[in-house]
Amino acid sequence: MSRASLVLVVNAGSSSLKYQLLDPTVGATHATGIVERIGVDGHLRQVAGDVEHEQDVACPDHGTALDAALTAMRDHGPGFDPDSLLAVGHRVVHGGEEFGQPVVIDESVIQAVTELAPLAPLHNPANLKGIEATTHAFPRIPQVAVFDTAFHHTIPPSAHTYAVPREWRDKHGVRRYGFHGTSFAYVSRRAATLLDRPVDEVNLVVLHLGNGASACAVREGQSVETSMGLSPLEGLVMGTRSGDVDPSLGAYLARVAGLDPGDYDEALNRRSGLKGLTGDSDFREVQSRRSRGDADAGLAFDVTVHRLLKYTGGYAVLLGRVDALVFTGGIGENSPELRAAVMEGLGLLGLELDETANADGEPERKVTSAQSRVPAYVIPTNEELEIARACLEVLGAAGTQGAD
| 265 catalytic per annotation | no
Q: Is the Cβ of residue 80 or residue 179 nearer to ligand ADP in the bound state?
A: 179
Minimum distance, C-beta of residue 273 to ligand ADP, in the bound complex (Å): 10
Minimum distance, C-beta of residue 170 to ligand ADP, in the bound complex (Å): 33
Instruction: Give every CB contact of residue 294 below 8 A, 6+ residues apart in sequence.
Output: 278
Biggest alpha carbon–alpha carbon distance for the chain: 68
End-to-end CA gap in the chain: 24
d(CA 162, CA 155): 13
> The dihedral of CA 250, 256, 260, 263: what is its sign?
negative
Interface pattern 329-358 for ligand ADP (x via CB under 6 A): xxx--xx-----------------------
181 binds ligand ADP (CB under 6 A): no
Between CA 20 and CA 24, with CA 22 as vertex, the angle to 5 degrees is: 135
Size of the site for ligand ADP (CB under 6 A): 13
Q: How many CA atoms lie within 13 A of 403 on its CB side?
A: 18
d(CA 274, CA 237): 7
Rg (C-alpha) for the chain, rounded Å, is 21
Interface pattern 203-222 for ligand ADP (x via CB under 6 A): -------xxx----------
Beta bridge partners of 21: 8, 31
Interface pattern 260-299 for ligand ADP (x via CB under 6 A): ----------------------xxx--x------------
d(CA 4, CA 182): 24
Quickly list DSSP for 78-100: S---GGGEEEEEEEES--TTT-S
d(CA 177, CA 274): 24
CB closest to ligand ADP, residue no: 330
Q: How many CA atoms lie within 13 A of 51 on its CB side?
A: 13
Q: Is the Cβ of residue 134 or residue 287 nearer to ligand ADP in the bound state?
A: 287
Q: Is the Cβ of residue 236 or residue 394 nearer to ligand ADP in the bound state?
A: 236
Instruction: Give every CB contact of residue 220 below 8 A, 6+ residues apart in sequence.
Output: 200, 201, 202, 203
d(CA 274, CA 280): 6
Minimum distance, C-beta of residue 334 to ligand ADP, in the bound complex (Å): 3
15 binds ligand ADP (CB under 6 A): no
Q: Is the Cβ of residue 84 or residue 278 nearer to ligand ADP in the bound state?
A: 278
DSSP symbol at 227? S
Minimum distance, C-beta of residue 177 to ligand ADP, in the bound complex (Å): 18
Minimum distance, C-beta of residue 235 to ligand ADP, in the bound complex (Å): 14
Q: Is the Cβ of residue 188 or residue 335 nearer to ligand ADP in the bound state?
A: 335
Minimum distance, C-beta of residue 310 to ligand ADP, in the bound complex (Å): 20
Q: Is the Cβ of residue 25 or residue 214 nearer to ligand ADP in the bound state?
A: 214
Distances 119 to 148, 183, 260 between C-alpha atoms, Å = 13, 20, 19
Q: Is the Cβ of residue 331 or residue 394 nearer to ligand ADP in the bound state?
A: 331
Task: Indicate which residue of 23, 61, 75, 148 is catalytic.
Answer: 148
239 binds ligand ADP (CB under 6 A): yes
Quickly list DSSP for 199-216: GGG--EEEEEESSSEEEE
DSSP symbol at 55? E
Q: Which 300-329 residues touch ligand ADP, going by CB under 6 A?
A: 329
Minimum distance, C-beta of residue 207 to ligand ADP, in the bound complex (Å): 12
C-alpha torsion angle, residues 233, 238, 239, 245 (rounded to 10): 60
Minimum distance, C-beta of residue 253 to ligand ADP, in the bound complex (Å): 27
101 close to 146: Cβ distance less than 8 angstroms: no
Q: Is the Cβ of residue 205 or residue 338 nearer to ligand ADP in the bound state?
A: 338
Which residues of this chain interact with ligand ADP, rule CB under 6 A? 210-212, 239, 282-284, 287, 329-331, 334-335
Catalytic residues: 148
